Structure 1
Amino acid sequence: MKKIKMIALTGILLSSTILGANTTVAQASSNKALSVDKSEIANNVIQVINELLNSSSTASNVNSQTKFSDLEDGQTMNVAPIFGQKTDTQFDNVLQGELNVVDGNEQLVSMVTSDKDSNGFPKTVKYTLDGVTKTITVNYNFARPIVSFTNNSQVMNFKDGTEKAAVEKAATDTANVKAISSNGANAKGETNSTSISAEISSDGKSVTFTPKDNYISGITAERTVNTYTEPNWTKINNSVDGTVNDPNDLNDTVLTNNNGNMYLLNTTNIKKADDGKTAIFNYKATAIDAAGNTVTDAISGEPITYTSGEQTINIDSSTVHPVITFKDKNSENVVYTAFPKDKTTFTTEDIEGLLPEKSGYALSGNYGDFTATAENNKQTYDVTKSVDTTVNYIDITTGNNVGSEKLQGNEGTPAVLTNVPENYKLVNQSDILQNLSSLTPSKDVYVKPKADSNSLNYTVTFRDKTTGKVVGTESQGTGNFGSYVGVTAPDGYALASVIDHGFILLKNDQKVTKYVVVADTPYNISYVDQDTGEEVSAQAGKGANESKIVLKAPTGYAFVNADDINYTIDKDTPTATIYVQKSDQTVDNIVSGYPHNGNIKIYDGNGKLNDDVVLSEGSSWIIDKTITINGAEYYRVATNQYVKASDVYKYTPLQTVAVTNGTNVTPVYNSKGQLIIDRALDVNTPWYTDRSATIRGKKMYRVATDEWIKASDSTLR
């Protein structure tokens, strides 16, 4: 029979946009499906709300006030630098608001600046009020430059025997080291520039880099210098007791030198004796790191390798010589090899005992017993390495350590920072995700103080989107700098779009205009049992024409058509009939296939695969029954048609805004609850969400086709 591929229409994901996905489905084969409606893609792709982009503010809007009466003559006041001003008047006006010295009526006190430094920043300010003059010294809190290593150049490796001068030249080279400064152009408008210097330690094991810009010296960072010495070739023969079943058993084995260098060994030029009892060969040793990755020489760019002289080993095929290989589960590289003696049968506990105590590795997964034979004397096991990384939070304005956090997990896996110091935020938001590595047991992450969060005033004016006229009364209030403020439409109106649901508060006395539409279109919905034709419930109300509302099926019933869940108010069609049917699926009765997971397979009531039909990837379906077949859970989507619960997820439709919480960026997960390591959402930013679901036991909101945030990391508006 010809296979029929179902096509489901889905929402569209744009770069930096959010989606409201259409849950349209198609009829399955000739059987009666629970949802059979076909319609065009809804025009509901919503632009991401992020008014922080292309916005600016000055410290005068948020700095705390200092009363002139409390000001001491001769004191020093710390302020944020004022970059890029072109005229004295411009600079002085901003500085006056930055210092924010006020009189008894909270009005700014006039001031005079003097004593400019080479960058045009005044170092002295005089205030005069009621015949009293006070002079203060201005200290500008420049951000200290930091060091950035590119191309994994914070660790450099060299082969032993390389000339000292060549090593020092390569180790101190700044081609892959940059000084990064967030300080801008000076008060004269002259562009800031950076430089970096390097100094190697007396033992040659590290290099200290010092960044600078035109204002201040930065925070130093170190590069580690490793030297890989030639392996002790006799060590491997001692490990195997000088005898193997076959010389090839020595391939892909790991040798660790006394100084900690690790090498992956392979045999070359094998020559067996005529009697087959001995073999002469060479070792080729390739340097590897703790995760089994090949180590390259920093000068040549080639893998660091050594070749032994001729080695001799005994061959004994009559006695079993087990070879146990351990591979890192994440990198899939060999990280350790054991040659156990006096035993051929191994339990899981025996295998665990072969791992060195200080290696940090442990078996990954459950393994049965292994018995080595002459024909099969080798076995490979996956292991994971437990990593503890201490993150030190460094204030870029002072260079001081302001806190720390310990991350724990497996080698090569991502971890999320959760303990950024209070009143600080990350300089680089990408630092929220850290890749755990035993090579970096500690790491510096740079933070900067948050802006003062005194209450700021705002006024919201509402305009009719159609007429442009102001409607309703102004909404006034206060909030903290950078916070998201949600708004409510005046009586008789609805907000015109998701963008009009709120705004980012960026300055004092902020004026905001939001657009609304008249919400006077009546609608009447009749819920009809499709089996009896009788009305079981009704719903009526008023709303904005062409706006959408999320419907809820009457108690004890479920929708027949997934599209009916999102109802569009239409002035030309004020009444609608929505078909429902009795169902024990009182909640979460709509499922969706996982994005990028291929078409969804269909099974009959006995769990037999239906080769005639599939559901389209990512499509959504109403379910009315849950059954268990051979221990696996299935959902019914049509007459005698079921999908595996493991192939879909349940969700609840939404049409609202989720605002990210916390003090730093919000992690993003896919529909299977896996952390997306190259994506995060900024703090206090609003995102349109069209679904909620419980994923891996956590309630989440969907903000893009396959991107979700935890409900605990956000607030619905």
Structure 2
Amino acid sequence: MEGFILKKSTSLLFSGLLVSGMVLGATVTTPTTVHADDNPTTQATTNVTNNVTYYDQSGKAVLTKSVEGTKGATIDYVPDGYAISGDKAVFGDNQANISVKVTKMISVKVNYVDQNNNLVNSEVVNGGEGNTYKLTDIPAGCSWANDTEQTITLVNGKEYNVPVNKKVFNTVIFKTADNIEVGRTEIYSDKVGDVVNLNSTQVPSGYKAGTTSLTLQSDNNTQFITVTKNADAATGVVTVNDNDAQLYTIYGNAITGRTLKAKSSWKTFDTKVIKGKTYYKVATDEWVEASDVTVANSNNEAVTPFTEVVTTKNTPAHLYTKDGQAITGRALGANTPWKTANKMVLNGTTYYQVSTNEWVKGDDVTLPANNNTTSNVTPASGVVTTTNAVATLYTKDGQAITGRALRPNTPWQIANKMVLNGTTYYQVATNEWVKATNIK
């Protein structure tokens, strides 16, 4: 009914203008907007077909194509492998001949270099040759040294070194009272001595930290925080077997009238061995015997060390938490390389860790063709101390890292052990390894 009223009102208004023009002898102009029930409606736009010829930077015609659109609108179609160069053209009258200048799409490498001339990270960006490109994926823990450096002009074959200011960085290692590492995070600030407060996502899930307020030490230092298991945090999930499961007290005594239904799933909060039998805590002072249930990890996850470089595909890759939840507004740029720290299989889906609690799906990235990262790496934990000499750091490929070393006689928490070409290394940070010969 509303469409009928609009049509009728347009007709009446247009008719009235014609009559006025005839009586007064004035030039009649057709309005672009009419009103009915106080709702504005714009007349239909003009659809046209233009003959568009695309010319490269040398003036050579690349393609001539009939393109349909709205008169006055921007012509967005571009031949494969090209990008618009300069101002965009717009559709003209029907069958108009339009010229559009294009330039070839290229890929260039951008290196982010800190104030000490150390490489922080690299990425590959794509765009039209000769066009400007604004960089947005600044490495974590860095700020722009100069805002003007954010915009580059793309030149084929050129590699760009973009200066950034790297904040002071510390690694935080969480360990239990028996010296078992349960997680790591990174903290940044502008200068040594700044106080940094850890947020809830940085403390390992299921643990309480002795302190969450840290004073930043010298750049690239390592700090240790002792954590304890959170009694209120779930440590796993059990599923009752085919029959209802009896519940027990902490002393192993059956609780009259209290059972768990067959096939039901329950979060667990602790484990006890009572008179030689294992029990799982499923509620306050209520325990179920291990023989009555099937146990699964609370996140159904399997995490293994994986220090390699993965490259995103042709579209931005969304980021996820360790629980598999998508992170709003966070993604990796298309066709960009990223160092990883761990590999995780969560509910059948593979993820790679690219930063603190940020993971990318395996389906969204490609791996190095010669990847053999797991064949010579085994988990290792504990603290090692460097010898009386400075200890050079190496990548997982055994390449010495320029300007990176451990101070003499300093302790370092290790995460993995690697034997590469007969030489033993220990991992002390993400993709940073020290030779066994350089430690006590």
TM-score (norm. length: structure 1): 0.20
Q: 1 or 2 for the larger relative contact order (CA 8 Å, sep ≥6)?
A: 1
Q: Which has the larger radius of gyration?
A: 1
TM-score (norm. length: structure 2): 0.30
